[in-house]
Amino acid sequence: MSLRRLIPCLLVLALAPAVGNAQLRPARLSRSARDSTIPIDTARARLLYVGVRKEELPQGDFEALARAKVVTDSIQRARLAGIVDYRHVTYRSSDALEIPAYLFQPLPGAKVTKHAALVWVHGGVHGDWNETMLPFVIEAVKRGYVVITPDYRGSAGYGKEFYNAIDYGGREVDDVIASAAYLKTLPQVDTGRVGIMGWSHGAYIAALAVMREQHPFRSAATVVPVTNLVFRLSWKGPVYAQDFAAEPTIGGLPFEKHAEYVARSPLYQVDRLQVPLMVHFATNDSNVNWEEAQQLVDALRARKPKLAEVKVYTNPPPGDDGAGHSFSRRVDKVTLLRNDSPEQVDSWKLTWAFFEKTLAARKPGA
């Protein structure tokens, strides 16, 4: 056949009705049809199930948690006697909820009459402040800082109602910010020199606090902070996600409540940062995995290089978690003394230098 006679034939084939081609393809079952013909793996369905109702929030042993809190109080009171002015205080959050906290300050009679202050934020989903941080808080007070450590809503040891009030990345941040207002009622605190520091979940709260448009902090130090909840929940899986999805202020997973999870993730708030921020990560962290941490590292280095002081420790000696997540919180649980590694020493050295610089007393007129 000549080329001239072949071209019309090719055109006919090219322009043939789509329905003709469709008849050549095997029919596809609709989603509902597939669901009705393929048996559901019920074991896997149970494994993947994540509830969104408040009553599906994971619960704790509230009596045991309350007893543990009493032990923490007694240990801290005994260990700090004659060294630190130690008190268990309460203050009101922005919605009037009463928030318990520990206050650590230099003993009366110190030469300095006005002290810089630090808000230290504990980690853990349903964690609380405990005695394992004592060697570090003692050092802070010896350096002249007043330290307050809020047990924000959702913290353990204060009963079921307070525990279930958890609001991850939401009103818990308000609770922590409100502690700075309490500090400013103390005559010994220099109200213009207040910083914030946290670890893990606490570092996440500290980062979110200083990424708000209005906050009371001159600077923030964060060690192994949670960075991106959208990524994190997919990485950690359904058991971990349950703590978030069933919170009434969230009420779903990231694909259902995308805007809510974005708003609660420091990674997506970097452009709001207006004060100095120190961030330390460990590459062998099995909680805030490097794949999550690197996202914030890259964002800060790229978009806030003048404000962010970022350091990544390569495979530091692990802490109690058996990995790098607690690399700078290595403490002997019996003696409550520091169990230093070179990386822990370095991290704290940089932390104190950071606060000495960012919370330095301003000269008159500065």
Q: What is the pLDDT of residue 320?
A: 82
Q: What is the pLDDT of residue 37?
A: 76
The pLDDT-based confidence of 29 (bands split at 50, 70, 90) is low
Q: Is 295 helix (H, G, I), strand (E, B) or coil?
A: helix
The answer to whether 358 and 220 are in contact (CB under 8 A) is no
pLDDT at 365 over 70: no
**Percent of the chain topping pLDDT 90:** 84
Judged by average pLDDT, the poorest of 69-83, 155-169, 319-333 is: 319-333
The secondary structure of 7-72 as a DSSP string is: HHHHHHHHTS-HHHHHTTSPPPPPHHHHHHHS---HHHHHHH----SGGGS----HHHHHHHHHHH
CA distance 157 to 134: 18
The pLDDT-based confidence of 113 (bands split at 50, 70, 90) is confident
Q: What is the pLDDT of residue 111?
A: 74
Identity of the residue numbered 170: G
DSSP at 234: H
User: Which single residue is written with the structure tokens 């408040």?
Assistant: 54
Q: What is the pLDDT of residue 105?
A: 96
DSSP at 108: T
Maximum distance among all Cα pairs of the chain, rounded to whole angstroms: 109
The answer to whether 309 and 297 are in contact (CB under 8 A) is no
Average pLDDT on 160-180 reads 98
Fold of the 51-358 domain: Rossmann fold (3.40.50)
Q: What is the pLDDT of residue 8?
A: 44
pLDDT at 76 over 50: yes
Q: What is the pLDDT of residue 7?
A: 41
The pLDDT-based confidence of 6 (bands split at 50, 70, 90) is very low
Q: What is the pLDDT of residue 127?
A: 96
Q: What is the pLDDT of residue 30?
A: 56
pLDDT tens-place string over residues 218-261: 999 999 999 999 999 999 999 999 999 999 999 999 999 999 99
Tokens of 336: 């409550």
Tokens of 150: 């809020």
The secondary structure of 160-208 as a DSSP string is: HHHHTT--TTTHHHHHHHHHHHHHTTSTTEEEEEEEEEEETHHHHHHHH
The answer to whether 248 and 255 are in contact (CB under 8 A) is no
From the list 312, 332, 338, the residue with the least C-alpha distance to 320 is 332
pLDDT at 84 over 50: yes
pLDDT tens-place string over residues 281-310: 999 999 999 999 999 999 999 999 999 999
pLDDT tens-place string over residues 306-349: 999 999 999 999 988 778 999 999 999 999 999 999 999 999 99
From the list 59, 243, 255, the residue with the least C-alpha distance to 156 is 59
**Percent of the chain topping pLDDT 70:** 88
pLDDT at 17 over 50: no
The answer to whether 130 and 213 are in contact (CB under 8 A) is no
CA distance 234 to 223: 22
For the chain, the structural domain boundaries read 51-358
Q: What is the pLDDT of residue 32?
A: 56
CA distance 332 to 349: 20
Q: What is the pTM of this model?
A: 0.89
Q: Is 113 helix (H, G, I), strand (E, B) or coil?
A: coil
The answer to whether 344 and 313 are in contact (CB under 8 A) is no
pLDDT at 175 over 80: yes
